[in-house]
Amino acid sequence: MERTSNDSGWRGSAEGWLDAAYEALLEGGVDAVKIQPLAARLRLSRTSFYWFFKDREALLSALVDRWRLKNTGNLISQARAYAETACEATLNVFDCWLDTGLFDSRFEFAMRSWALQSPEILAEVQAADQLRLAALKSMFQRFGNSADDADVRSRTLYLVQIGYISMQTQEDIDLRLQRIPNYINVFTGEYPTKSEMDRFIARHRSD
């Protein structure tokens, strides 16, 4: 059946345009997020874009919102999640590093690359860093660390992971899991128990 101008499928959807923008950002940086190439990617007309977004800036703003909600929102939630020990709490945060549904490292890299050419995005990234660090500091303080100790532990934990992302480090999952108890000891001063590691590994191993 021929589509009419009232058929929303003819125009796509806001989420579809945003997904295409996300893929373009990851593949080619912010300069690749342009309306006409996105329309070609989606096999839609350029004008259909304007049913959902006022202009390119509105689309870019929606991308920032998606990143903020997913990466910052989930990291903070994991830092606040219930845990009986500092090791367990830190493993909750480590879920972000291994579960792309919680934290998108490729998106994080793309945003930080974008920040190199945009003062506005740099401010967004710096604000996110402060929110994340504050959540991690509060997490460590919950388990008896002084404010100064919690500050250093939170920075050590967070900056190591940002280093992984910035260097685009590729690490075999088995090797990463093998190293995690030692990382936990560095970050908390304690090694996780076998039951804590067993629960963590069960969340991230399908076999």
Q: Give the CA angle between residues 143, 145, 147 to the nearest 5°.
A: 130
Answer yes or no: is pLDDT of 50 > 90.
yes
Q: What mean pLDDT is predicted for residues 190-201?
A: 97
Residue-wise pLDDT for 9-18, tens only, equals 567 899 999 9
Q: What pLDDT sits at residue 187?
A: 98
In single-letter form, the type of residue at position 109 comes to F
Which backbone phi and psi does 117 adopt, to 5 degrees? -120, 5
Q: Where exactly are the structural domains of the chain?
A: 10-53, 63-204
Answer yes or no: is pLDDT of 8 > 60.
no
Residue-wise pLDDT for 66-103, tens only, equals 999 999 999 999 999 999 999 999 999 999 999 999 99
Q: What pLDDT sits at residue 100?
A: 94
Q: What pLDDT sits at residue 4?
A: 34
Assigned architecture for domain 10-53: Orthogonal Bundle (1.10)
Q: What mean pLDDT is predicted for residues 31-57?
A: 96
In single-letter form, the type of residue at position 78 comes to Q
Q: What pLDDT sits at residue 58?
A: 98
Residue-wise pLDDT for 145-180, tens only, equals 999 999 999 999 999 999 999 999 888 889 999 999
Structure-model confidence comparison of residues 206 and 9, the more confident one: 206
Answer yes or no: is pLDDT of 5 > 60.
no
pTM: 0.91
Mean pLDDT of the chain: 93
Buried b (16+ CB within 10 A) or exposed e, 129-151: beebbebbbebbbebebeeeebb
